[in-house]
Structure formats: structure tokens, C-alpha cells
Amino acid sequence: MASSSAAPSSTAAVPAPATVAVAPKAEAPAPEQPAAAPAVDDRNSIEDIVYTKLPGDRIQITFKMTKPPVEPNAFTITNPARISLDFPNTRVGLEKKSLAVKEAAVTSVTAIEAEDRTRVVLSLIKPVAYSTSIEGNNFAVTVEAPVSAIAGAVEPKTTHFASTRKAGKFSLKGIDFRRGPQGDGKIIINLSDPAVGIDIREQAGEIMLDFLNTAAPAELQRRLDVVDFATPVQTIDTFVQGKNTRMIITPKGKYEHLAYQTGNVFTVSVKPVIEKPDEKKVDEFGYSGEKLSLNFQNIEARAALQVLADFTGLNFVVSDTVRGSLTLRLKDVPWDQALDLILDSKNLAMRRKGNVITVAPAPEVAAKEKANLEATKAVVELEPLVSELIQINYAKAEDIASLLKSIKAVTTASAQEHPVFGSAATGATVERSSSSNTLLSPRGQVTVDERTNSLLIQDTPGKIREVRQLIAKLDQPVRQVMIESRLVEATDNFSKSLGVRFGTKYTDTSPSGRGGAVSGTVSDSSSIVAAGTLSANSSGLNVNLPSPGIGTSVAGSIGITIAKVGSNGGLLNLELSALEQEGNGKVISSPRIITANQKKAVIEQGQERVFTTSVLGVGSVVTKKATLKLEVTPQITPDDRVNLEVNITKDNFTDAINGVLNIKDIKTQVLLDNGETVVIGGIYEQDKTDTITKVPFLGDLPLLGWLFKGKETKDNKTELLIFLTPRILSDNLSLR
């Protein structure tokens, strides 16, 4: 390894004693030996770096040296893309060790000298193929074109759509704005002809569209304010400029735009770019610098720091007390990690301000920072105090004051003890903080005036400036939400009842011919319709199983004489009664309420009844409520969604005498988009009953059994659905 050989300069500076020992004898005195010549640096040197663009988007970088170079050791790095060349026994004779290229696939060339070798690093936009060649004292590297590159392609600054094939005048027919599903804003322009020439470009943070040789009606020449759509687009200005019509789209924040045309419709889509916390790729140890490789033995710490300074292009200020050497071999590590390793190995510390890095021994840095803090503290203790009145608009002054002081270390004093605040006003309290855990200085104090909701602060000008900036961020109007709930209760009832009564009646008055039937006629309608046990002088119907009816509805019936039985004139009478009932109902309850962000709101409506109860013979009065109640706590998320904690109750009295409540209650938490409607719950009930009344044994007979039994069927269905819709209100209380 070249770095392990002894330094030639030290041996060359010592004269060889063997020359004197073997000098031949001569009669004349030996000539005087010349003094030893100083060591000569015979290393090769890189004197210049030039680059030449080649056809096909290739580039050739030539290193001009003082001697014919040898083939260097070369290796590549994929991420970041680099080509590294190690020239042995070579130094750097350049004034600037870094050359910005920014042509083809090469962005820069950097030469770093370390002991008896020089490393040349070619930074690339992506990994590409390359070749090397040696011609005389020149070493050339030819870098091929990227795969996606197109020779001679130049990205235009202005994008052109269509062309003005016709000489006639065009016009705009309409301008519309819509919000896309991803929060993007779409500007839709209707053209009079698909051949309208359109130039689109970005200028000064705005998107400009020029519709060539195109007019715009007066109703379209205006400003569209689309801030409420919550997209990157804020305003759209359209006006006529000469023979053309210009449209200026003003976006906000980071965005990307896309323009496309379909027939007569031209669309510009402006999509927000989600800003990541750190655009740079950070490894698992938290380092994000560009990767490099280092291989040194016994290199001075100051020289290693110089290598990093040349590689990064940052300014390094190294203290005179930095001493020592180190040996390191690092391959493909971030430069900031390499810096940490060098600092840790020599007990050094660094502080960075902008692009300047200061390096010194850790004890020296700590002592300097301590001295600076003590000096700052002394200045704060001697700095004069000023007083300032700050008006709180939306928050409570007491809440803001609690953030400015330490709760555990506050001493309360009367207003007379602080004459700087003037007379002691009712509702004003003065609090002084004696803890360092506070936004105020140790001498600072704050007064809360409850009457005007203001803060009177006495502190140093710097502290008051910090407090005012903090209050400006905290004292913001609280956003409001309107919650609309809809309770839909649907009922579907079906009932059916069927019954029969029949018996015999004899016309023969002879006691020996009676069959046991009672006297009377079927025409007695009152006795036929009424259900229950027949009296002694009723209708003469021996089987009594009529339809009981449904609720207060009485079943219809029909009575007939079927036949004459026997020679004595007996009659067979039959009565059929039946009833079928259907009912559909819908009850809609829609409570609405507006509340502030993260504040609970309750709305309630219903009935309150008084009932008497008796326990162990002691009577008491009980009051019960049957209400429709909505209790909700909204939380607006930063992306304009609403997190709701909801409690909905719907009660009603099922027994008006004993005060029995039928309770329907739902508690849930749900995250919704602004204006989105969702079904948060539902209750479905079905009550189905079949009741059969029959004469034992006879009612079980096939077919004939229906003459000895009655049947009642009920099928009641009830369904409760709960819908919820949150809407964020803007400052002017209109719906967003």
C-alpha cells in the first residue's frame, strides 16, 4: 500500500557516509563534498481539469498532469451516484479543488489530496457507464449519456398547446372551477375552437396562460376567489391583453400542475404536494449527508477535516488546539457520520451556523458556551424593564397567562405592591414568577385584567417581543362545527284474525224433541258479533270461537243458515268472522346544533311526566323524562376533517301509568369528512306472533278442524336509523 511506505524526503536529506569511506587516496587533497540538496517532490500533479461535450449527450473530462499518469484504482457508488478514481503518488496543483460541470450526467468534479495520493470524485445525476484512456500526460474519462436522455433535447420554458391554424378570432365560452378528490383544483376552460393556441408557463410563483388571438366576454373578465374550496388555487384572474386573453392562476404552498386538452375543453389541474418532514433520505442512524469513502493511515485530524471540507463545500473553522492523528477506513458512509466519527475519536465538538462549521475540543466548546450564557444572563439581569398592554381577542386572558408563567413557582401579590401597574383595579391580579421554567424572565410579571380581557406584561424588550409573537399564534378564533343528525324510525305492521261460531236451532216445541240448543235466532246481530260465552237465551250457536279483533278494531262477520236438519225443522247456523290490518309509518327527528371546536354541546327535547309510587305503604312522587337528546363533542383535524364523539338518546313512554320508559341510546366516535353523511347505527326489531284458539281434539281434525278453532297472526317490524352530518363553518358563518 502506498500510504505505508516511508517518506522519501527524510532519507534524501541525509548525506551518504559510504562516499567518504571508499574515496581513493590521492596525493592531492580530496575535493570538498557539496552540501546535501533539499528533497525534491517527484510526485505527479493534476494541473488542470477541462470537460468537453460529445455527441449523444456524452461528456469527456480530461485531467492534465505534469507526468504520464498510471491507471488509477476506480470504483463506483450507486446512491448517491459517483465515480471515484484514486491516483497514487499524485498531488493536486489546482487553485480550486471542485469544478461545477452540470452537463450531461455529470454535476461536479472534486479532487481531494491525502498524503501521497489523490482521489477524484465525479458526482452524477444517476449511475451511468464510463470509460478511461491515457494520452501522454492527460487522463480522460468519458461518461456515457443517461438512459432516458435525448441528445440535443432542451426543456422549453413555455409549453404550447394546439396552434392557431385559423386566422379568425377565437373566444372563451366559459370558465369553471372544481375541487378534485385528492384536494386538487381543476380550472376548466371551454373554448370556441380546439385549435386555440395556448401558452402556459410559471412566473413569479404564478401560473400564466395566454390564449393566443382569443377574446373573452365581459362576464368572464373577472377574478374568481376559490379559497373556500381548500385547494392550492387561491384566485383566478382573466382579462384581455391586446389580441390575446391572459389567465393568471395564483396558487399557495407547494404544488404541481398539469394541463391537458380534450376537444374544446382545456383543463389545468393544480395538485398540492405533501411536504415531507425531511426531503433528504435519512438512514436508520439519522444521517442524511452524501456518501463518501475514506482510507487513511496516520492522517492528521486537521487534514481529515480538510478532506471533509473539500468534499462538502462547507466552511470549516478549526481551533488551534486540535491535535493528533488517526487511522480510518470508511466506505460508502454519509459525510456527517464520518465527521461524527472523527470528532468522537479525538474528543472534539462542533457547532454549525449556516454553512460554517466550527470544530474545537469538547471542553473548550463547553467552556465557551458557558461563558456566553453567563454573559447573556448578566445582560438580562441588568436590562431595563418595559411594560406593554396586550389585548386578547378570542382566548381567555387567564388561560394565556397560565402559559407565560410556571404554576408551581408563582407568588401572588396585591396590586399596591407593584405601583408600575397604576391603581389597583377590581378584577385584576398580579402574579410574579420566580422559576426559570417560564416564558418570562425572573424579573418579569404579568397582570390579568378580567374586565377588558387584556394582559399587562412587564419584562425586558426581548422577552416581551417573544411573548407577543407567541400570543399572536395562540389568540386565534376557534372554528365552529354544525352537527346535523337525522333519526328515521320506520314501522311496518300486519295483523290477521279468523274465527268461527256455529250451532243448531229447533222449531219443534215438544220437550222430547229438543236437542239441547237454546232458543233464539241467528238474526240477533248483537249476540253474533260479541265474543265470549253465550248466555242462556243467546243465538243458539254451540261453538263460540269468534275473531277477537285487533286493538280497538272489531272483526267483520257473516252469519248464514246452512241447512235444515231433521224432520222437526232444525236449522244449522254458521257465523264466520275475519279481520286483516296493515300499517306503515315513518317518524323523522332531525336535531341540529352548532358548537365550537372541542366543546361539548347538548340539545334536548321531549316530555316530563310525574308518577306516584308506593314502597312499603309509603307513597312518593317520581318525575321521569322521555326525551330526544343529542350530545356531541367535535374536533377539527388539520386536514379539515371532523372527529365526533356522539351520544344520541331517543326515549318514549311505553306505560303511561307506571312510567316505564322505552330507551334507545347510541354512543360512538367517528371520523368524517367535512359535509359527509354517514349512518352511525341502526336498530331493527321484528315482533311476530301466531295465536290459535281451538276446541281440543276437534280443532286438530283435518279440514273440519277449522270449524272448531280461531287464529290470530301479528307481524310488526320497527327499524331505527341514525344519520350524522358535520359541517365546518367559516368565519362568516356560512357552510364550507
Could you tell me if 642 and 715 lie in one domain?
yes
**pLDDT (mean) for 399-418:** 54
**Does residue 501 lie in a domain region?**
no
Domain end residue (candidates: 546, 581, 616):
581
CA distance 501 to 152: 106
State residue 675's pLDDT score: 87
Could you tell me if 701 and 599 lie in one domain?
yes
Amino acid at 377: K
Could you tell me if 182 and 196 lie in one domain?
yes
Domain end residue (candidates: 454, 476, 498):
476
Q: What percent of the chain has pLDDT over 70?
A: 73
Q: For 609-623, b where at least 16 C-beta lie within 10 A, e where not — what string?
A: eebeeeeeeeeeeee
CA distance 10 to 136: 31
What CATH number does residue 314 fall under? 3.55.50.30
Query: DSSP string of 658-720?
Result: TTEEEEEEEEEEEEEETT--EEEEEEEEEEEEEEEEE-TTGGGSTTGGGGGEEEEEEEEEEEE
More confident residue, 68 or 528: 68
Is residue 453 within 8 Å of residue 397, measured between CB atoms? yes
Could you tell me if 571 and 621 lie in one domain?
no
State residue 363's pLDDT score: 93
Is residue 504 within 8 Å of residue 513, measured between CB atoms? no
State residue 256's pLDDT score: 86
Torsion of CA 197, 202, 204, 207, to 10 degrees: 70
| Residue 729 neighbours by CB under 8 Å, 6+ apart | 479, 480, 481, 482, 594, 735, 736
In the numeric block, the cell 401579590 is attached to: 413
**Does residue 492 lie in a domain region?**
no
**Does residue 286 lie in a domain region?**
no
CA distance 658 to 678: 37
What CATH number does residue 401 fall under? 3.30.1370.120
Could you tell me if 211 and 253 lie in one domain?
yes
Given a cut of 60, whether residue 359 has pLDDT beyond it is yes
CA distance 27 to 341: 67
In the numeric block, the cell 374544446 is attached to: 264
Could you tell me if 644 and 706 lie in one domain?
yes
- Summarize pLDDT for 18-52 with one digit per residue, the tens: 333 333 333 444 444 444 445 566 788 888 888 88
Quickly state the pLDDT bin for 561 (edges 50, 70, 90).
low
Could you tell me if 599 and 725 lie in one domain?
yes
State residue 99's pLDDT score: 86
What mean pLDDT is reported for the chain?
76
> Which stretch, 62-76, 303-317, 411-425, 550-564, has highest mean pLDDT?
303-317
CA distance 245 to 192: 13
**Does residue 503 lie in a domain region?**
no
Could you tell me if 472 and 538 lie in one domain?
no
State residue 335's pLDDT score: 92
Residue 91: C-alpha distances to residues 51, 64, 73 (Å): 20, 12, 15
Quickly state the pLDDT bin for 570 (edges 50, 70, 90).
low
- Summarize pLDDT for 497-526 with one digit per residue, the tens: 777 776 665 555 544 444 443 334 444 444
Quickly state the pLDDT bin for 173 (edges 50, 70, 90).
very high
- Summarize pLDDT for 185-197 with one digit per residue, the tens: 999 999 998 888 8
Given a cut of 90, whether residue 348 has pLDDT beyond it is yes
State residue 185's pLDDT score: 92
Could you tell me if 355 and 470 lie in one domain?
no
Could you tell me if 684 and 653 lie in one domain?
yes
Given a cut of 70, whether residue 415 has pLDDT beyond it is no
**Does residue 428 lie in a domain region?**
no
Could you tell me if 591 and 566 lie in one domain?
no
* Residue 459 CB neighbours (<10 A): 25
State residue 169's pLDDT score: 77
More confident residue, 249 or 4: 249
> Which stretch, 162-176, 178-192, 276-290, 642-656, has highest mean pLDDT?
178-192
The domain total for the chain is 6
**Does residue 562 lie in a domain region?**
yes
- Summarize pLDDT for 529-545 with one digit per residue, the tens: 344 444 433 445 556 66
Given a cut of 50, whether residue 735 has pLDDT beyond it is no
Given a cut of 90, whether residue 233 has pLDDT beyond it is yes
Domain end residue (candidates: 556, 581, 606):
581
**Does residue 431 lie in a domain region?**
no
What CATH number does residue 215 fall under? 2.60.40.3470
Residue-range definition of the domain harbouring residue 337 = 291-376
**pLDDT (mean) for 429-442:** 56
CA distance 140 to 411: 77
Given a cut of 60, whether residue 158 has pLDDT beyond it is no
State residue 425's pLDDT score: 38
Amino acid at 270: V
Could you tell me if 665 and 624 lie in one domain?
yes
Is residue 141 within 8 Å of residue 83, measured between CB atoms? yes
**Does residue 35 lie in a domain region?**
no
CA-based angle 78:84:90, to the nearest 5?
175
C-alpha cell at 131: 470509460
Quickly state the pLDDT bin for 283 (edges 50, 70, 90).
low
More confident residue, 134 or 571: 134
State residue 16's pLDDT score: 35
